[in-house]
Amino acid sequence: MKPPPACRLDQVSLSLGDRTILQSISLEVGRGEQVAILGPSGAGKTTLLRMLSAGLPPSQGGVRVLDQNPWQLKRNGLRRLRSKIGFVHQDHALVPNLRVWQNVAVGRLGRPGNLGHIRRLTLASPSELRDLHEVLEQVGIADLLFQRTADLSGGEQQRVAIARSLYQQPALLLADEPVASVDPARAQQVMDLLLDLADSRDIPLVISMHDLELARRNMSRLIGLRNGRVLFDSTPGEVSESTIKELYALASQENEAP
């Protein structure tokens, strides 16, 4: 029997105030799939990721994440579901005044036990520190364990954010433009880290990005989003240059229109 998809959107629309952000989107992300969401700024990529992370309910349509219906869960159920979804943010979203190990350890905050978390984040046990060190080693910054996060470079902070997701042990990994502000060489490194993380755990990876070449090289499926609608959803080989040009050119014409 075919396993259920990791996430599924069925005719999903979202309006905030008078603005329509997403319109009639239907898609499925299977276990182990690596998906890139492409599209110009304002196309709805981040919103789509937030919906997949059970962070935003739709105005219309159905959402199912990790075989659960997020918006029918009670508070604790929703927290448990979210604790299984890793999210790497574009601006890293780390707490600058915490140490690196603490920022990684917050990855497990969604698990039950508030007091235990607070204890763990103030006084980690030697075995917890060993685990955290190992995770940081996997992203190549093990020696920064006790550094203040605010003192790290942008690239190092990004690795901390990825390490946090690694430590979280998610069942679904989402990343919002993780390579938007890095040079091409570093962009590939970041992609490698994310893909390794997804591969090693056989979890689906959904990344929003602008770099078509990077997406083609690394991802198994590309979804083009424009004005909140899916323009294409196919394998890298099937997406032609003209389709991509259409995706961005049409959007820029629409943006320029008064």
Partner 1 sequence: MKPEPRNQRIKELHSQRPRSFGLRLGGILMAGLVFYSLISPSLHLQTLFALERRSNLHRFLTQDLLPQSVQRDGSGLTGWLAWAWSVLQERALLASAQTLGLALVAIVIAAGTAALLATLAAREDFPQKPSRPTESRGDAASDAGPSLTPAGARKRAAPGPGEGGQHALIGRGLRLGFGLTRSLPEYLLAFLLVALLPHTAWPAVLALALHNGGILGRLFTETLENVPAGPSTSLRSIGAGAASTTLLARWPEAFTRALSLTFYRFETCVRDATVLGMVGIGSIGYLVVEARARQDVPEQFLLVLCGATIVLISDLLSRIVRRRLRVA
What are the φ/ψ torsions at residue 28 (nearest 5 degrees)? -130, 140
CB atoms within 10 A of CB 31: 14
CB of 1 to partner 1, least distance (A): 15
61 near partner 1, judged by CB under 8 A: yes
The amino acid that residue 251 corresponds to is A
For the bound state, the minimum distance from the C-beta of residue 57 to partner 1, rounded and expressed in Å, comes to 5
Q: Which of 98, 182, 195, 250 binds partner 1 (CB under 8 A)?
A: 98
15 touches partner 1 (CB under 8 A): yes
Pick between residue 71 and residue 146 the one whose CB is nearest to partner 1. 71
As separate numbers, helices (DSSP H) first and strands (DSSP E) second, the chain gives 9, 9
Cα–chain center distance at 194: 10
- Min CB(163)–partner 1 separation in Å: 13
51 contacts 9 by C-beta, under 8 angstroms:
yes
Alpha helices in 93-240 (DSSP H): 100-105, 114-122, 126-138, 154-168, 184-201, 212-218
> How many residues does the structure list for the chain?
258
Q: Look-up: residue for tokens 């690694």? A: 166
Indicate which single residue of 3, 104, 168, 203 sits in contact with partner 1 (rule: CB under 8 A). 168
Told to check if 229 binds partner 1 by CB under 8 A, we report no
Candidates 27, 87, 132, 139; binder of partner 1 (CB under 8 A) is 87
Question: Binding partner 1 by CB under 8 A: which of 36, 40, 66, 82?
Answer: 82
β-bridge partners, 122: none
Rounded to whole angstroms, the Cα distance separating 206 from 73 reads 23
Q: Which of 27, 43, 121, 209 is close enough to bind partner 1 by CB under 8 A? A: 121
- Region binding partner 1 by CB under 8 A among candidate stretches 28-36, 63-71, 130-138, 226-234: 63-71
Chain contacts with partner 1 (rule: CB under 8 A): 8, 10-11, 13-18, 50, 53, 55-64, 69-87, 89, 91, 93-98, 102, 106-107, 109-111, 114, 117-118, 121, 168
